[in-house]
Amino acid sequence: MEEQREEFCRLARHPDANISELCRRYGISRKTGYKWLARVDMSDLSRRPLSSPVRTAARIEARVIEVRRQHPAWGGRKIAHVLERDLFIDLAPSTVTSILHRAGLIRPEASDASKAWHRFEHPRPNSLWQMDFKGHFPVGTQRCHPLTVLDDHSRFNLALHAMAGEDGITVRAALTRVFERYGLPERINADNGPPWGSAGRGVTAFCAWLIRLGIRVSHSAPYHPQTNGKDERFHKTLVAEVLSGRFFDDFESLQRRFNEWRGVYNNERPHEALDMQTPSDRYQPSLRSMPSSLPPIEYSPDDVVGRVQAMGIVKFKGRRLRISVALHGQPVALRPDRDIDGAYDVFYCHQKIDRFDLNEVKSESP
């Protein structure tokens, strides 16, 4: 509850925030929302001293070491920024690093591996979300498959769920809760594994659901996980700050730890690629709300529309074209290529899902 309240307040204080819509998505009244905001504003004022209470070098070093022990994976730049932001202690990152070295809190190999990360990012929140599973690991007598969803622009973590499997139904339920809270993105990128990838031709049932919601779906190139590089980097941070050297007895205790750390990651941990801002400083929920039901499928009057039959087949110009078993009973549009006679692009809703050249493709057997 505390993590939810803090996240609501941070998002609500953005200049363009729609307070009424945020209250609806968080399941609270407007009166409660404004009460939360008033309490946070008062606490912010009370915790900001007029001058720094830390005056001696020994006490400054103690503060540095205290932050480091709370966040063992944070380096000099992050700790220096947090001390200045929260306690008005102005230290150079190199000074913080020297203090950590003297205290024996930095291993040489960690220092050698430290480097800044610079990646391309989309220009606004919700233009692209990256989605993946963190590699599974034992929890009690089971194995956990953490589902992670990250906003490309802000690095805001939208989902961190401890899951017992990777099936499409379970992921869809988890993602529905994310959509209800933060709205719909323009595009989601995932890898080629289940439930979002398909071993054969055509989209999966999970991706068909995303497309029906008006979301564009893209996939990382095979053997190129760096396409989802920010989420991969998030996984490394998750391991370093939460999972490394720890064992959890059950999913409930792991999810509690996930929720606590997610609040720190989104709201407190400065991100070097964001000029030391936090993800919540740059994130705003999407204006596109999760609909109560799937919208109807509509195509242009000029489209040739066929309905997917059993085995994912569409009959077209005397051919039996295999589209996708997951789309059984659904209409698809076939649009001719203006430059290549006999070539057709296949669309499901707004998304191109396949392409056929009738001069080359053989009809599927009945």
pLDDT band at 223 (very low <50, low <70, confident <90, very high): low
pLDDT at 74 > cutoff 90:
no
- Cβ 61 vs Cβ 95: under 8 Å: no
Asked if pLDDT for residue 238 goes beyond 90, the answer is yes
Query: Is 231:212 a contact under the CB 8 Å cutoff?
Result: no
- Residue 152, pLDDT score: 93
What confidence tier does 227 reach under pLDDT thresholds 50, 70, 90? low
Q: Is 90 exceeded by the pLDDT of residue 196?
A: no
Q: Which of 5-19, 40-54, 209-223, 304-318 has the lowest mean pLDDT?
A: 40-54
Name the amino acid, one letter, at 320: R
* Structure confidence at residue 113 (pLDDT): 43
- pTM value is 0.78
- The percent of residues in the chain predicted with pLDDT above 70, rounded, is 86
Model pLDDT for residues 12-33, shown as the tens digit of each residue = 988 888 999 999 999 999 999 9
On the question of pLDDT at 41 being above 80, the answer is no
Residue 346 has what pLDDT? 94
Residue 219 has pLDDT above 80, yes or no: yes
What is the reported pLDDT for 85?
A: 79
To the nearest 10°, report the CA torsion of 96, 114, 151, 224: 180
Can you read off the two tokens belonging to residue 226? Answer: 């760096």
Mean pLDDT, rounded, of the chain: 84
Q: Is pLDDT at 220 greater than 70 in this prediction?
A: yes
pLDDT of residue 115: 46
> What value does the mean pLDDT take over residues 160-178?
94
* CA 12/CA 170 separation, integer angstroms: 30
Of the two residues 81 and 242, the one the predictor is more confident about is 242
- Closest alpha carbon to 299 in 337, 268, 335: 335
Give pLDDT, residue 48: 47
d(CA 280, CA 14): 9
User: Which whole-number Å values give the CA distances from 23 to 5, 11, 26, 175, 311, in the listed order?
Assistant: 11, 11, 5, 19, 45
Residue 348's pLDDT is: 95
CA dist 363 and 328 (Å) reads 18
Contact 294, 213 (CB under 8 A): yes
- Which residues, 6 or more positions from 333, have their beta carbon under 8 angstroms from its beta carbon? 299, 300, 303, 304, 305, 346, 347, 348
pLDDT at 107: 60
Rounded Cα distance, 176 and 160, in Å: 13
Mean pLDDT of 66-87: 78
3-state secondary structure the chain: CHHHHHHHHHHHCCCCCCHHHHHHHHCCCHHHHHHHHHHHHHHHHHHCCCCCCCCCHHHHHHHHHHHHHHCCCCCHHHHHHHHHHHHCCCCCHHHHHHHHHHCCCCCHHHHHHCCCCCCCCCCCCCCCEEEEECCCEEECCEEECCEEEEECCCCCEEEEECCCCCCHHHHHHHHHHHHHHHCCCCEEEECCCCCCCCCCCCCCHHHHHHHHCCCEEEECCCCCHHHHHHHHHHHHHHHHHHHCCCCCCCHHHHHHHHHHHHHHHHHCCCEHHHCCECHHHHCCCCCCCCCCCCCCCCCCCCCEEEECCHHHEEEECCEEEECCHHHCCCEEEEEECCCCCCEEEEEECCEEEEEEECCCCCCCCC
- pLDDT number for residue 201: 56
Share of the chain above pLDDT 90, in %: 51
pLDDT at residue 323 tops 60: yes
Mean pLDDT computed over 239-246: 91
At residue 363, the pLDDT reads: 57
Tens-digit pLDDT profile for residues 256-313: 999 999 999 999 988 887 888 999 999 999 999 999 999 999 999 989 999 999 999 9
pLDDT tens across 330-364, in order? 999 999 988 889 899 999 999 999 999 988 766 55
